[in-house]
Structures are given as C-alpha cells and as structure tokens.
Copies of this chain bind each other. A is one copy, B any other.
Amino acid sequence: MREVAQLAGVSRMTVSRVVSDPDVVLPATRDRVNRAIADLGYVPDKAAGGLSSRRTGFVALMLPTLTNANFASVAHGLTEVLRGSDYDLLIAYTDYDLGEEERQLRNLLARRPEAIVLTGASHSREIARLLLAANIPILEIADLPHRPIEHVIGFSNHEVGRTAARYLLDRGFTRLGAIGAVYDGSVLDHRGEERIRGFEEELRRSGLPTTGVIRHGIAPLSYDHGVGALQELQRRAPDTQALFAVSDLSAVGVVMECQRQGLRVPDDLSIMGFGNFEIGREINPPLTTINVDFHGLGSQTGRLIVDLLGSATPPAREAAHRVDVGLAVIERNTVRPA
C-alpha cells in the first residue's frame, strides 16, 4: 500500500479510501490511485484491515461433508445473499468427524468470522461455550434442535420421518420398514436418526410393529447402504410392503438392488426417500421422496445474517430466531398408489 501511495502521490489513507469508499475521493485522485493499484497488482490485506476496522468481512460455514448436493444448495443460497452485502463465505468441512469439527471451529474462530453457520451438531458444552464467547451470531441450520445455541433455520427431521410414515400409512400399507444408520450416541448422524425416530413414533401411534425399522452401517449414507440395508430388512422383516430410507442415496441403492433381485418397484416393494436428490428423478421408476428447500434455507440464513450484522443494536441474545422452512412430499413412482 505504501508503494501505491507513493506512485499515486497521495497518502496511504487516500489509497485506503479509494479501496473501501471510492465516492469520497476526488475522481481525478481516485483514477490516479486506481492506476497505481493496477500497475502494482496491489491486493489489500483484509486481515490487516480487519484488525484495524474490527470487520473481517466474512461469514463461516461449517459443513459435515463436501459431497452433499443439498448442502451445496445451502451454500449457494447463502453466497448469493452475502455477495450482495459484501461478505465472503468461507467453508470448512468436518467429514462427519467430531474431533475435526472442534478443530475446524477453532481455526475458523481464530480468523474472526462475523457470523458462523453450523450444520453439524456441535453440542459439546465446550464448543457451545467457545461459540458463544465469540460474541457473533451463531446460526444452526438444517435441523430444529430443542436446545439451540442461538438462531435456528431449519426443518424438523423428526417430522420428516412422521410425514413419510403417514404418507405410507395413508396409502394403506401396514407392513412398513425404514432404513437408516446405526446411531452410536455420537452426533454423527443425528439428523438421520431423528428421521427414523419420527417414523417409529408414527408406527407406534398406529399400533404397528417396528420390526421393519433397520439401523444398518454408519453415516454418511450412500447407495451401497441401501443394498446392504435392504438385504438385512429382507432377513428380518421379509413381508415388508413399503420402505422409507432416511436418504435418497440409500433409497436409490434399494431400487437398484431390487432390479438385480428381480423385485418390481413399486409392485413388490414401495420405496420413498428423503432429500430430493437429482439421481432420484433419473432412475426407473423415478423416486418418491421428501423435499426441503435447501436453497431457500440458505438465502434465508443469509438474509438473517445481513439483518443481524446490519442492525447497530448489540447482539440481543434473547431474541434468537427460529424458522421452520417446512418440507413437502414429492410424489413420483416408487410408491404404489392407494
């Protein structure tokens, strides 16, 4: 910056102004400075700027994995909104690893984000404390935790499971199954477990057995989870008529395994998934699933952040937001009509 100032024949302060608030500088001066910036390939150091202004200009997003299209949609929605308000989005991911989550969080916090968006569970006391101590907006998304750290924008995974069960029940099925991951008490697949519990609850309400509810393998779930889980289901509850998979990927695996076994979908087995992944639309027959507007979830999160950071009011912790973005069944052809 010093060089730029010299080349343009102004003080460093003027260079700073040209970069952050150009309108306040005389056009002639501004042009001179801009030319110097271009000539020198000067890129302002945001870390130094942030140190001084107490504004780092970025929001952190913690993702459990990089490969989930729905989380990518969230990132999309977020980015779109934040870009309009001149915040960057920096992404870290944990690979569904608890230790890694804490590590990454510390790293992120050490760079002083202005807000932090969490998709993991992050509920160890230690982590929650660290987060709160940072004194920035904390947003938990893609779930509706009972005891949130602060703001929540999400949907009820429990309700996802109940909705699936009701949908299947409404179509007259009585031998229902569900497949998810083994829940080992860690929070790795917290959300999938919630879905499966919602499903079980609805089964119990209807006085139906839960023998078809299979917890198989560990999260994150993918296609081959579906094939393994189906095989286990066939051993434990061979008369199952309709099946809910806590993830579309798993559901697709089930459909593929059915093809291999010569089982007709939905005639021999009805299947529904969750997440409305693109592959579900492409397979034969196309997969019935439950959709959540993840992109909208991301934009809403972005808007809330901008609001929160924009208001000069000190962080009123008591006014935590809680938004349920809801969900919807997407009817396609893997569930036999009533």
Contact = CB atoms under 8 A, between A and B. Distances in A.
Interface of A: 41, 43-48, 50-51, 56, 58, 65-69, 71-72, 75-76, 83, 88, 90-93, 95, 103, 106-107, 109-112, 129-130, 133-134, 222-224, 227, 252-253, 256, 259-260, 278-279, 281-284
B75 A93 contact: yes
Contacts of A284: 256, 259-260
Contacts of A282: 223-224, 227, 252-253, 256
19 contacts: A41-B133, A43-B109, A43-B110, A43-B130, A43-B134, A47-B48, A58-B107, A66-B71, A66-B75, A67-B68, A67-B69, A67-B72, A90-B91, A91-B93, A223-B278, A223-B281, A224-B282, A256-B282, A259-B284
Contacts of A56: 47
Q: How many copies does the complex hold?
A: 2
A92 B95 contact: no
B93 A92 contact: no
Contacts of A111: 46-47
A-side binding surface: helix, strand, loop or mixed? helix
Nearest to A60: B90
Nearest to A103: B83
A113 to B, nearest CB: 11
Contacts of A223: 278-279, 281-282
A55 to B, nearest CB: 11
A50 B90 CA distance: 18
Shortest 3 CB-CB distances between A and B: which pairs? A47-B47, A41-B133, A66-B72
Contacts of A47: 47-48, 50-51, 56, 111-112
Given A41-B129, A41-B133, A72 B65 contact: yes
B278 A256 contact: no
A289 to B, nearest CB: 15
Nearest to A130: B41
Contacts of A256: 282-284
Contacts of A259: 284
Contacts of A50: 47
Given A43-B134, A66-B71, A90-B90, 7 more contacts: A41-B129, A66-B72, A66-B75, A83-B103, A88-B92, A90-B91, A256-B282
A260 B44 CA distance: 56
A40 to B, nearest CB: 8
Contacts of A93: 75, 91
Contacts of A76: 95
Nearest to A75: B66
